[in-house]
Amino acid sequence: MDFDLGAGAAELRTRLRTLIEQHFDPGFLGAFTDDPADLEATQAFCRLLAGEGLLTLAWPTEYGGGGGSLWDQTVVREEMWAHHEPRGAQYMGLNWVGPAIMAHGTAEQKALHLPPIAAGEVIWCQGFSEPEAGSDLAALRTRAEPVGDPARPDGWRVTGQKIWTSYAGMAQWCIIAARVGAGERHEGITMFLVPMDAPGIEVRPIRSMLGPHHLNEVFFDEVPAGPDAVLGAVGGGWSVIRTALAHERVGIARYARCERLLSEMGRVLAPHWDELPPSLEVAWARALVQVRVARLLAYRTVRAQENGEVPDVAASSARIAVTQCDQAVAEVLFSAAEHRSLEAGPDAPVHGALEDHWRYAQAATVSSGTIEVQRIIVAKSLVKGASA
Ligand SMILES: Cc1cc2nc3c(=O)[nH]c(=O)nc-3n(C[C@H](O)[C@H](O)[C@H](O)COP(=O)(O)OP(=O)(O)OC[C@H]3O[C@@H](n4cnc5c(N)ncnc54)[C@H](O)[C@@H]3O)c2cc1C
């Protein structure tokens, strides 16, 4: 399979790798470590990428983008994920909050929100999941009550609870899904863009195996939102969610990190293959095939996006493959490095990245919708296609 995206893409990769090398030491494991300097470094790097015109390369120039193609953006996200996401928490705004605002926002919302994202100045979080509404997102119960005349509200008061909200403790803005009016399930859902310093918002961190300041509960107690905070139509939130999720599911290019880690481990192990069980070499090769399959399916989704589709089924297929290769690679690398991989630091294999990768790989089949839910989406579309 030829994954070559052309000379321009190769040049872009080299440019990005040089910038990463210049600004991060080889042991950098991402923004979410016990060292707050890591988060600061990612914030500074986003501003630097913005200055170089690389942060929102595929966005239209009118919104602060570089006017590049979705394939340019694919190269950027691959290089970022391969190198432990030096955009840190901002990748969420860049990958899917921005595109959702671009697709569904008013001219004022675009003017307000897109330039700061493109300048690398803002962290967004995503308030979709609730304690009783994860896989079944349409069961969400957070409510937005109109202020004044319900037919022409002067604003809204949002009340409810979100959970597993990544980066809520550091975000300036949140895109939240809330229920409006008497509509049920998908019909009643409305999206709001809310500043995280609005009165009535409380963030409580959830300690987890993923590390510090990553996952949170967020409580909304009559949080005020103006009429201009509604993204898309009142009651039309489901189509915004579909846009956001399709971008999200293909935006997390962990297959690129998998390939990099596999190849680095291959290099470290090269002199020792003869001493290792042959089954390990087979597992290593199999994992590499899974990585390439994931990449292929991701590219299929990008192609559909290029054609103006909202490719939720293709994105689900890609997501299934990415999460599976994530876990397969985690296991192979762990077997290869044995318990030494639990160490971190310059002397550990790949600087302790294996342990970090293994931890995040466990959550991969849950975040962005579980693997079972992705399979249901794909299966339903196949059944529908067969009966059409
Ligand atoms: C690292 C991480 C980051 C996250 N970040 C965010 C975020 O920023 N914002 C946000 O809104 N959410 C976030 N989430 C939440 C994530 O989207 C949900 O955890 C996920 O959608 C699953 O929901 P749940 O946890 O309620 O599990 P449940 O929906 O309760 O599922 C429990 C189990 O039952 C299975 N199951 C449920 N329904 C079915 C069915 N119909 N058929 C078959 N099996 C089923 C599921 O597959 C799963 O195995 C994050 C999660 C993780 C792990």
Please, what CATH class does the domain formed by 125-235 belong to? mainly beta
Degrees to nearest 5, angle at CA 208 with 204 and 214: 55
Ligand 1: does its nearest atom lie under 6 Å from the Cβ of 134? yes
Positions of E strands within the chain:
124-127, 143-147, 155-163, 173-179, 189-195, 201-206, 215-225, 230-231
125 in Cβ contact with 171 (< 8 Å): yes
Confidence of residue 342 (pLDDT cuts 50, 70, 90): very low
Ligand 1: does its nearest atom lie under 6 Å from the Cβ of 166? yes
Per-residue pLDDT reduced to its tens digit, 191-217: 999 999 999 999 999 998 887 768 999
- Examine domains 7-122 and 252-387 and report if their fold is the same: no
Per-residue pLDDT reduced to its tens digit, 48-105: 999 999 999 999 999 999 999 999 999 999 999 999 999 999 999 999 999 999 999 9
Q: Where are the domains of the chain?
A: 7-122, 125-235, 252-387
269 vs 129: which has the higher pLDDT: 129
* Centroid of ligand 1 to alpha carbon of 165 (angstroms): 12
Q: Which fold has domain 252-387?
A: Butyryl-CoA Dehydrogenase, subunit A; domain 3 (1.20.140)
Ligand 1: nearest atom to the Cα of 166: 8
Q: What is the mean pLDDT of residues 305-320?
A: 91
**This model's pTM is above 0.75:** yes
Ligand 1: nearest atom to the Cα of 370: 47
Best mutation site among 358, 370, 376 for ligand 1, i.e. most ligand atoms within 8 A of its Cβ?
370
Domain 7-122 indexed as CATH 1.10.490.20: no
**At CB < 8 A and 24+ separation, what contacts does 314-317 make?**
314/250, 315/245, 315/246, 315/247, 315/249, 315/250, 316/249, 316/369, 316/374, 316/375, 316/377, 316/378, 317/374, 317/378
Confidence of residue 349 (pLDDT cuts 50, 70, 90): low
